[in-house]
A and B are shown apart, each in its own frame.
Chain A
Amino acid sequence: MNLDFGNEYEDFRNEVKAFCEEFNGIHVTGSLYSYESVIDPNEKPKIEMNVKDWQKVLIDKGYHVRHIPKEYGGFGGDLDIVKNVIITEEFSKSKIPTGVGGQGIDFLVPTLMEMGTEEQRQRYIQPALYLDEIWCQGYSEPNAGSDLASLQTKGELVGDEWVINGQKIWTSTAKYAQMMFCLVRTEPDAPKHKGISYLLIPMDAPGIEVRPLVDMTLDAGFNEVFFTDVRIPAENIVGERGQGWLVANKTLVHERGSLGDPNKMIRRYDKLVNLMKSEILDGVRIIDKPVYRDRLMKIQGKILALKSHGLRLLSGRLNKGQDINLATMIVKLYGTEMRYELESLAIDAMGEIGTLYENSPHLRDNGGWQYAYMYYLGLIIGGGTSQIQKNIISERGLGLPKEPKVQGV
């Protein structure tokens, strides 16, 4: 057991600290992605910066996408997990927003790095990193949710163009996006996992229609995307025809692992503690009521477990001999269920006030708790439901037998 990163990283940490000091109190504007209230809304920001400019500052310093080669617009550093951890930790401590990720940077860029052609990397990575091109992900369909591989959006190669027809759903950022990476059935006669291709589709292509999909939070964060005879160049394919499932799975793994960041959870827990100290019923602070306090402590126990678990996962990535296979698989299930439990306690701590929403009087934290309470239920479902996670854990982690396939499906 050794929790020290070593002296060589102390210099790096000091450098990051100095940077955070310089930009302390920064307010980043114009982002598509909501920052989790990194600054106090009542505090007047000392520095304001547009999100694209901020992104550039961070990439130039090597504090974002640092391992993407310079030729593609990245910083060109080593893939150094410890440095990434130090950046996340120090930014988190100083409440400075980290670089913007999103579908393009988090999923498309790693996919292209691994499976893309040189032309594709040259063409797409830099605009994605600098937010000049926003990407959305076209995976789910109305009839292909948990059973994603049964997707039916059709792609036909006609001459030197793919002609695409069908529909995608749950497509976040589609209404701002310039590009979509999309799973399309191009080999209708192949077995379902082998008939899919990974295509890159410009969102301004004729025949694409985007309709906002309002969710229970009343946000339209998702969209439906309809394709009618949409034509894109034949070369807009990543990997070979029929390899799309393989290509997509590389990023799905990434998505599931990234949903339970312990730092965020700890920050949220601290906010919950403050809320429970400030809510007063019958002259008693909620936090001083034993039943509520007990619920809070239960959640803290789980958060401490998750925080320690983060160290274990990090250690497993740094030390190849350490087996973290099962430990990694449980993160999405554990993290999202726990987060929902945390938000639920916040609602109960406020009682009737917890149900207030939109611009009601007496709102706490701009209604953020009720929003999060619903939003995180969405995350339990999105990115592979809890039930799908349990199938994965039991089959791939514990080696339990698969369910027999239903004939003819």
Chain B
Amino acid sequence: MYFGLSEEQQFFQESVNKFLEDTVTVDALKAYRTGENNQLTEIVFDGLNELGLSGLIVPEEYGGLGLDSLFAISVSESLGKGVAPYPFIGSFLIAPFLIDQLGNDSQKQKYLPGIATGENRFGVALSERTGRRIDSSIEYTNEELNGRTLFVMDDLDSTHYLILDSKDNVHIVEATDSGLQKIDLKSVDITSFISELNLTGAETDLLENDLSNKDTIQSGINLGRTAIAANTLGAAQCMLDRSVEYSKERKQFGRQIGSFQAVKHMCAQMASDLEPCYSLAWYAAHALDHIPDESHLMACQTKAHLSEVGSSIAKTATEVHGGMGFTDDLGLHFWFKRIGLNRQLLGSPDLLREEAADVQGI
């Protein structure tokens, strides 16, 4: 019996962490924000793809590494820790998962190898199942796609879009399609890429498969939610680590602020809240591949719980840093904002708890 990340997974995490520490510095992020460093996203994209992230879960026969959900979730944790501006969860988890599950052989052959190399970049539009608003819906009629979808995930220089319609069909639309208009949305988190798509008679490659779409789409959403939760886990751990570091350095009243119980207890509370989240995320990831009966509930509860813990740590860690925590200078806010966006993507914690109750028949 072994419950946790394997040595290989930890080693892989370390490579990702190292790359991000060197590349995605606070200065680099600030320069990216002001337009002085436009290449940051491409450098990160190429660097992480070289480590194998784009093909991480793509089956080996299509040129990927064919790794499992736990592996994917551990990588997502590292990407949160390093607040990576990288379209992992949508482009390289949900898209290849759904294409592999729902696509026919020629569709898999057409898209998956390109995903593995990073040439195919998918923005992922799931708002039909994860928060449809009154002014947005996607209809598939006469072999055309019409309507609007909001909060398309991981839309960074997308070559394709994976779009869910109101009847649980999954479509692939090329970014160059004349019936597709993309509007970039700007969230507080400049390291994530979300957009709105307006479709008027867009041409679609419909994924067809014998499997029941509804369940498979749910599995894709479960994967996405668990990965987002892990991403928050990593970001929160980084904020805690920085708080501990800062409270050892910073002196007031003639002593390290970390020697005051008021500060100490804030740090201890963060650690106590966060430690069990590792176990929760690992179990949820394990359930995705091995305990299908629990995976929907686990995904809802894991993302809901980590959203709460993450938000609480984002606030507390900022407070531990005092006034500096509030500055752009220190850049702690990049993690605060990542946690903030993650909290809302694919379902806010309140909605997820409601869904969790429904799943269990409570």
Contact = CB atoms under 8 A, between A and B. Distances in A.
Interface stretch (B54-62, B161-169, B252-260): B252-260
Given A311-B279, A314-B3, A294 B350 contact: yes
B278 A312 contact: yes
A3 B353 contact: no
B233 to A, nearest CB: 11
A402 B259 contact: yes
Interface residues of A, number: 53
Interface residues of B, number: 47
Contacts of B5: 1
Contacts of B308: 298, 301
B18 to A, nearest CB: 19
A398 B244 contact: yes
Contacts of B305: 298, 301-302, 304-305
A318 interface: yes
B360 to A, nearest CB: 9
B269 interface: yes
A2 B4 CA distance: 9
Interface stretch (A343-351, A352-360, A373-381, A386-394): A386-394
B70 interface: yes
Interface of A is mostly: helix
A401 B350 CA distance: 38
A216 interface: no
Interface in A1-22: 1-6
B6 A297 contact: no
A333 B282 CA distance: 22
Contacts of A398: 244, 267-268, 271
Contacts of A394: 258, 264-265, 267-268, 271
A60 B70 CA distance: 42
A400 B267 contact: yes
B247 interface: yes
Contact of B3 (A3, A387, A397): A3
B21 interface: no
Nearest to B307: A301
Contacts of A319: 2, 4
Given A4-B1, A304-B301, A393-B268, 14 more contacts: A1-B2, A2-B2, A82-B1, A294-B354, A296-B357, A297-B304, A304-B283, A305-B280, A309-B276, A312-B3, A390-B269, A397-B268, A399-B248, A401-B248
Interface of A: 1-6, 82, 273, 287, 290, 293-294, 296-298, 300-302, 304-312, 314-316, 318-319, 322, 326-327, 330, 333-334, 387, 389-391, 393-395, 397-404
20 contacts: A1-B4, A1-B6, A2-B3, A293-B353, A297-B301, A297-B304, A308-B282, A310-B279, A311-B283, A315-B2, A322-B2, A327-B276, A327-B278, A397-B268, A398-B267, A399-B244, A400-B244, A400-B259, A400-B267, A403-B260
